[in-house]
Amino acid sequence: MRLTASCLTLLLLLLVLLARPAIGQERRPQSNRVRAKQPAAANIPTFETLIGDDCYKFYGEARNVGQLIRSESAHQLLEPVLKFAGPPLEFKSIVKFLDAHSEEVINSRLLVATWPNARNVPDYVIAIDFSATEEATKFSTTLDPFLNKVLPPTEETPDGKSESGPTKPAPKSLKPSFYLAQYGSMLVLTPTKLTASGLRTNGKLLVENPNFRTAHNRFTAESLFLFIDFSAIEKEEEETRKRYEAEAKKRQEEQERNPPPAEAAEQAEEKQPLEIPQPETPEPQEAPKEEPTPAPISIAMQGITNSIFSGTQGKWPDAIGVAISFEGDSFDARVLLINSLGEKSTPIPFLPVIIPTPGIVPESPNILPADTELFISLALDLQQIYTRIVTASPNQASFSPMRKLNDNETPFTALEAQLKLKVKDDILPLLGSEVAFSLPMRTLDFLPSPGGRPQAQPQSSPDGTNANQPFVPGPIVLLSVRDREGVKAILPKIVEAIGFKGASAFAQTETREDTEIVSYANAFAYAFIGNFLVLSSDAPTIRHVVDKYLNHETLAVDNQFKNYTRWQPRQLQGQVYISPALMASYRTWAQQPNTVITDQTREFLSRLSVIAEPVTYSLSNDGLGALHELHVPKNLVLMAVAGIAGEANPPPLLSNERNAINVLYTIFSAELRFHADKGSGSFTSLEELMDQNLVNKELLEKSGYKIDVIASGTKFQATAVPLEYGKTGKRSFFINESGIVRGGDHGGGAASVEDDPIN
């Protein structure tokens, strides 16, 4: 499957060029193209020996370009883009050209270097590397006139006045939009003239860069390879910072030497003897109220949160190598973090507190139930994490109710005093390195979906309530333990520190075979299963985990989990598994009649495979550096692409329907604000909302719908009906104080509370 590579191939070769200002201008006569003389055979460069190692920060390579273009996946990806997104004519022309000439580039490489790091180099260099010089020469006779057609020359007005005088316009010349040169079997495309020596600023070549060689050698079989030089990015940022500081210092010194007249007068006044005013008797002021001391657990959690999100940024690698391949029905992306010899970076630089161990064989899948929807496992070095937290700046990003810490305090000091235990010496040695999480699908709102996330379905409990729906467990945390009895002894103290005063008085215990479940007023529950402490906010979830474990219905024996994680190495630092429920929810969303999408998008989605597949990810280290690997089902990507393409260029009728829904949500928000402020607990009419500037009248007029609001006391309802049924919209919509938009096709009539919710 070569979908993503084909897409990126087009983007790298086409979209960069389409961004040129020449596009959309009137076609003009062709200008002469610069074609380099073919050098002697002994000096014919490859792309890696043409580019200097310090010229660009980004390098990309697509292999077997013709095969990528002709692949079924490429056509499947382009179909919704061409059909729904309304791309420009130039894009369609280039797609057609590449498809027609795919045989000529069947085994060639497409190479890109961009994001300049050196001065006086082209903004980008694009090359097509053929297997023979004759193939490159033949293809250039086809490529050159085509590029002239889609990228015509631009008009360039010379500086100064024309010979005819200032009243007449200066003559215009034509500037080429690109330059095409041939170096042996390579065709090289640049926006400015290029000489091979102009890309070797320090004498070193890209092929001599050890980080590049490491990444390139690691990913030789994948269809698409990318390389990003982070050391060059950091160097550029540091030089920019120093330049700004030097410029600011220079401006300050200049102002001190030559202050403005107003400032000079002020400085003169400052030199005059000052009259010391007599002190006034201060008025008595109320003593400031003392802020309540936050709970020790709040201070500890605040310190951990600051370390994760507001602490010192982790060390980024010197470079990363990215590879994308297409195996079976999934798109597989691999990211290798590369460091210089002796250097070490954070595996997840934007989360520096995540410090993994060398690797483990995860055991948490043997505990969690087979119906787990989102599973995350991490092998953490808890001692190093503790050290990072306590050695970080104690008052970083502090905010209420977090009090400032003294120099000799850590975020855990108050908690340790209350527990009479030391976190580092008494708690961490009892725990293992594996920490795992299980989350329901409703927590995945951050994942994109065409039109929004599907609504959560009603659920039952393990006790049989609402038995028509399967039980969906809540969030679960698993901590591996080395000393179960030791953890059991300190756990009641920790529960009380969390906020359950006198926890032992209302703790409830139940036994399932030899497993004990402890719950506290249905607000917190835990159980020891195998080598893990299993925690949750509700007892039914813990019962569900225990029952599935005792019935041997765990994630580890689930066929989907076993089959789709088989590719992962045995020793892992991190693992993520998103069950087929995610992909199934997309399919369900698309099939619902009240989903706001076009019939064409719905038909495209219905043609995709009905088999739902999981998303899998792993973090490991094979000695070269931290390796992130992600496998995403092909059909899940196609669903997302179809949805995004449909969003980019919706037909007017669908656009009006979405605008009407947004208007109803705007009215709902405005009613809530009025209800809480001037309404004193009551809702109001649409006219009043507009008078109070809570709703924009222009927004209503542009929706293509007639909006009505009926309000009475603590109740209100708003309806949206098409101004012209079938032309400005088909469906009618309804919202009330519940905040749920409902609707359906009523032939131009109003919707009501009886209609189904709109997705």
Distance CA 349, CA 341 (A): 18
Radius of gyration of the chain (CA): 33
Which pair of tokens denotes residue 631? 């496998």
Neighbours of 92 (CB within 10 A): 13
Neighbours of 72 (CB within 10 A): 10
Q: Where is 491: in which H helix or E strand?
A: helix 484-498
Distance CA 115, CA 118 (A): 9
Q: Is 80 exceeded by the pLDDT of residue 749?
A: yes
**Residue 304 or 637, more confident:** 637
Question: What single letter denotes the amino acid at residue 46?
Answer: T
**Tens digit of pLDDT for each residue in 541-579?**
999 999 999 999 999 999 999 999 999 999 999 999 999
Q: Is 60 exceeded by the pLDDT of residue 623?
A: yes
Question: What single letter denotes the amino acid at residue 455?
Answer: Q
Which pair of tokens denotes residue 753? 């509370």
What percent of the chain clears pLDDT 90, i.e. is strictly above it? Answer: 42
Tokens 């003294």 sit on residue = 406
Mean pLDDT of 378-400: 73
Domain ranges of the chain: 3-156+173-235, 355-391+407-455+464-618, 652-745
What pLDDT score does 455 carry?
39
Which pair of tokens denotes residue 460? 């039952």
**Tens digit of pLDDT for each residue in 256-278?**
888 777 655 555 555 555 555 55
Contact, 586 vs 639, CB < 8 A? yes
Q: Where is 165: in which H helix or E strand?
A: none
Q: Where are the beta strands (DSSP E) in 55-177?
A: 56-62, 109-116, 124-129, 154-156, 173-175
Taking the whole predicted model, whether its pTM rises above 0.85 is answered as: no
Distance CA 703, CA 662 (A): 9
- Mean pLDDT score across all residues of the chain: 81
Neighbours of 226 (CB within 10 A): 22
**Tens digit of pLDDT for each residue in 199-234?**
776 678 898 899 999 999 999 989 899 999 999 999
Distance CA 620, CA 27 (A): 53
Q: Where are the beta strands (DSSP E) in 329-486?
A: 330-338, 374-379, 431-439, 476-481
Tokens 């994948």 sit on residue = 222
Neighbours of 157 (CB within 10 A): 11
**Tens digit of pLDDT for each residue in 442-459?**
766 544 444 343 333 334
Q: Where is 599: in which H helix or E strand?
A: helix 599-606
Q: Is 70 exceeded by the pLDDT of residue 332?
A: yes
Q: Is 80 exceeded by the pLDDT of residue 23?
A: no
Strand duo 124-129 + 224-229: pairing: unpaired
> Rounded to an integer, what is the distance from CA 722 to the centroid of its chain?
37
Question: Which among 77, 97, 75, 93 is positioned nearest to 85, based on CA atoms?
Answer: 77
